[in-house]
């Protein structure tokens, strides 16, 4: 009997995972994995927020709680609080009931559900993403039935934003095309537009009737301030226009594995919002019926309790500050070594990652000789660094840059 699946080819391995496995299998006691996208403490350990543990204990000890199915759109309190978090307590769009928010499986799930909805209901199938962007973006959108295009974003010469290229490419996009905009802490580059640049981007997007789809995975985690990190999105919503927002609590609440996020669609009227919501449910039900209860309950517990909310903002700022401090330390260490080149992008970039500017040859050399693992595109997780390991990385970068082209 032959297998029905005998002609299946093994899937190509995910490049990020390849690096992870190499680092996992390296026996060196000084190995350092800077390829992943989760926060590490100063001791290099995964971090569960204290306020999260408290919330979880509180939930587990509440015998009145059950495990019934959530509604298709998730936990209603969670949805309301998530919308307020990203749009602001005083958001007119929320007051006017023009906002539909449904709980989804973290950022990825929010992007996929939003994309499937758009593939079905938006008249334009093209979706523009930045070059480069998160590795999973193109797959999510293609599988949802959209066709992926790129707009210029990263300038390797300045290791900053190719603003002119970005405006040109968005300006040339077909009317009604969807544009994926990372709200802050761009992954993988760490390069964000300034507020002035965001305003110009907004004008181009609105004048060309492009539909913004924000990927909001780092609110509060980039600058340390929840309001600042939401400004780009709020600027767009304030002009009365429509947009989609994929929101994740993976990083800012450290709830990675609980898969908790929300898709928000800001519409021009309450009537449209209700119809949109009913159609979103038709996407969700045949995908996984309804979302998981645990992570949403933790987030809700924290967001609605003012003491817990405050404690959360304090822990969040601490994480963001540690990352900022690591950037500074790495930059100063490279300056101290006189490493050739301009490394100021390390402190100009923001968020969890830095696009170091190292090439694949450098990266492989560093893995082999210094047991430090990063993505082949030179992306380093600053969140994975500590004061103890900064000098190890600085030495490695110095060696790589001075010894090879």
Nearer to another protein, 105 or 397 (CB): 105
- Residue 262 CA to residue 103 CA, distance in Å, equals 4
Strand partners, 354: 380
Nearer to another protein, 194 or 207 (CB): 207
- Residue 350 CA to residue 192 CA, distance in Å, equals 7
Residue 68 CB, nearest distance to another protein (Å)?
5
Angle subtended at Cα 201 by Cα 196 and Cα 203, rounded to the nearest 5 degrees: 100
- Residue 363 CA to residue 366 CA, distance in Å, equals 5
Which run of H or of E encompasses 76? helix 76-87
Q: Among this protein's residues, is 215 annotated catalytic?
A: yes
Q: Among this protein's residues, is 169 annotated catalytic?
A: no
Q: Which residues neighbour 307 within 8 Å (Cβ) at sequence distance 6 or greater?
A: none
Length of the chain in terms of residues written: 405
Nearer to another protein, 297 or 392 (CB): 297
Nearer to another protein, 167 or 287 (CB): 287
Residue 26 CB, nearest distance to another protein (Å)?
19
Q: How far is residue 217 from each of residues 5, 132, 244, 283, measured CA to CA in Å?
A: 37, 16, 14, 22
3-state DSSP call for residue 211?
A: strand
Residue 194 CB, nearest distance to another protein (Å)?
27
- Residue 295 CA to residue 82 CA, distance in Å, equals 13
Strand partners, 110: none
Residue 172 CB, nearest distance to another protein (Å)?
20
Residue 140 CB, nearest distance to another protein (Å)?
4
Nearer to another protein, 13 or 89 (CB): 13
Residue 80 CB, nearest distance to another protein (Å)?
19
- Residue 274 CA to residue 339 CA, distance in Å, equals 57
Of 169, 192, 215, 395, the active-site residue reads 215
Strand pairing class (243-248; 261-266): antiparallel
Phi, psi (deg, nearest 5) at residue 149? -125, 165
- Residue 52 CA to residue 312 CA, distance in Å, equals 8
Which run of H or of E encompasses 170? helix 163-171
Residue 144 CB, nearest distance to another protein (Å)?
8
Q: How many CA atoms lie within 13 A of 144 on its CB side?
A: 29
Of 162, 169, 251, 395, the active-site residue reads 251
Q: Among this protein's residues, is 251 annotated catalytic?
A: yes
Q: Do the Cβ atoms of 319 and 218 come closer than 8 Å?
A: no
Nearer to another protein, 14 or 227 (CB): 14
Nearer to another protein, 165 or 241 (CB): 241
Of 73, 134, 169, 192, the active-site residue reads 134
Q: Point out the residues that are catalytic.
A: 134, 215, 251
């Amino acid at each position: 009997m032959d297998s029905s699946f005998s002609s299946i080819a093994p899937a190509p391995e995910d490049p990020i995972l390849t690096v992870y496995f190499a680092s996992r299998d390296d026996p060196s006691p000084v190995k350092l994995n800077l390829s992943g996208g989760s926060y590490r403490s100063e001791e290099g350990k995964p971090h569960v927020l204290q306020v999260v543990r408290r919330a979880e204990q509180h939930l587990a000890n509440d015998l009145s709680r059950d495990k019934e199915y959530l509604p298709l759109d998730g936990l209603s309190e969670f949805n309301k609080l998530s919308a307020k978090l990203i749009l602001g307590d005083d958001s007119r769009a929320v007051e006017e009931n023009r906002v539909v928010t449904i709980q989804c499986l973290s950022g990825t799930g929010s992007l996929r559900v939003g994309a499937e909805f758009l593939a079905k209901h938006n008249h334009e199938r093209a979706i523009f993403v930045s070059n480069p962007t998160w590795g999973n973006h193109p797959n999510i959108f293609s599988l949802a039935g959209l066709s992926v295009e790129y707009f210029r974003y990263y300038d390797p010469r300045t290791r900053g934003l190719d603003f002119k290229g970005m405006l040109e490419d968005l300006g040339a996009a077909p009317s009604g095309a969807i544009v994926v905009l990372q709200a802050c802490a761009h992954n993988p580059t760490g390069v964000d537009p300034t507020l002035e640049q965001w305003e110009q981007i907004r004008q181009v997007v609105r004048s060309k009737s492009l539909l913004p789809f924000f990927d909001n995975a780092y609110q509060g985690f980039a600058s340390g301030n929840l309001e600042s990190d939401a400004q780009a999105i709020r600027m767009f919503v304030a002009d009365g226009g429509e947009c989609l927002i994929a929101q994740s609590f993976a990083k800012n609440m450290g709830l990675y594995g609980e898969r908790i996020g929300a898709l928000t669609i800001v519409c021009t009227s309450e009537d449209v919002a209700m119809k949109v919501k009913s159609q979103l449910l038709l996407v969700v039900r045949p995908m996984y019926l309804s979302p998981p209860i645990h992570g949403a309950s933790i987030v809700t517990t924290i967001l609605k309790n003012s003491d817990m909310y405050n404690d959360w903002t304090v822990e969040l700022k601490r994480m963001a500050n540690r990352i900022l401090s690591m950037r500074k330390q790495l930059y100063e260490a490279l300056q101290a070594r006189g490493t050739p080149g301009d490394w100021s992008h390390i402190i100009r970039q923001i968020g969890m990652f830095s696009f170091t500017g190292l090439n694949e040859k450098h990266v492989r050399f560093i893995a082999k000789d210094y047991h430090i693992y990063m993505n082949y595109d030179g992306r380093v997780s600053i969140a994975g660094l500590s004061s103890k390991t900064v000098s190890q990385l600085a030495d490695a970068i110095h060696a790589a840059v001075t010894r090879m082209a």
